[in-house]
Amino acid sequence: MDRNLEIEAVVTVAKLMALAARTAPKSRGKDNLQVAIVTEREEINKLAAQMRGIGTAKGQRRSQRNQAKGEALTRDWHSDARSVEKSDVLLLLGMNARQVLDHDCGGCGFVDCLEFAKSQPLEGAEITGPSCVHKMVDFGIAMGSAAAVAARHFVDNRMMNKLGVAARMMGYLPGSTVVMGIPLSATGKNIFFDRNDKVASVSVLYDGAKH
């Protein structure tokens, strides 16, 4: 199969994933999901470079407490950045999780939605919290719906918080307080798994955890 046709097929699947995320159920029917599909190689490489920069900075800060974990953290980010570089298409999903839904459930850590609405946003963090727990659940369902479409069409994919963090820093999906990315690939071997550097880094970071 011609490589251009394969990439064209992946773009089509990315659009179907975006549709699945859009039609996923949202609490009280309030939908503020944002979607972007990145197909340009230059933009994909820029996002990967941003991930490397973030990983290096985070690793240096962690090294002040634990050098081994700091180095592992940097390797972990760099490993995901390499996977993004190899990807054919990137799907970015974002949501404003500070939208008030008037549930008064306390899941956000405040006594009611009025107090939540008065809270100061945590600017500069990877996720601008505090967050409405219902909106975060909505976001997770949307992400899962999108990933399920990729799986059904045999497109290799992986949910990446790191890609979303880089995208937010680069100005993608303005207005979203949380962004996640799903890189997509169609090759003879899944590029997102069997990464020894990733496995070794996660093992150090999480004290022997399997990946």
Percentage of the residues of the chain whose pLDDT score is greater than 70: 98
Q: Is the pLDDT of residue 11 over 50?
A: yes
Q: Is the pLDDT of residue 209 over 70?
A: no
Question: How sure is the predictor about 211, in pLDDT bands with cuts at 50, 70 and 90?
Answer: very low
Question: How sure is the predictor about 142, in pLDDT bands with cuts at 50, 70 and 90?
Answer: very high
Give the pLDDT mean for 109-136. 96
* pLDDT score, position 208: 55
Q: Is the pLDDT of residue 40 over 90?
A: yes
Q: Is the pLDDT of residue 196 over 80?
A: no
* pLDDT score, position 82: 97
pTM of the model: 0.93
Question: How sure is the predictor about 193, in pLDDT bands with cuts at 50, 70 and 90?
Answer: confident
Fold of the domain spanning 3-205: NADH Oxidase (3.40.109)
Between vectors from CA 138 to CA 179 and to CA 111, what angle results, nearest 5°?
A: 100
* pLDDT score, position 91: 98
Closest by CA to 97, choosing from 114, 112, 117, is 117
Give the pLDDT mean for 136-146. 98
Which residue has better confidence, 1 or 95? 95
| pLDDT per position as a tens digit, 67-89 | 999 999 999 999 999 999 999 99
Region for residue 5 given its phi and psi (left: phi exceeds 0; alpha: psi -120 to 50; beta: otherwise): alpha
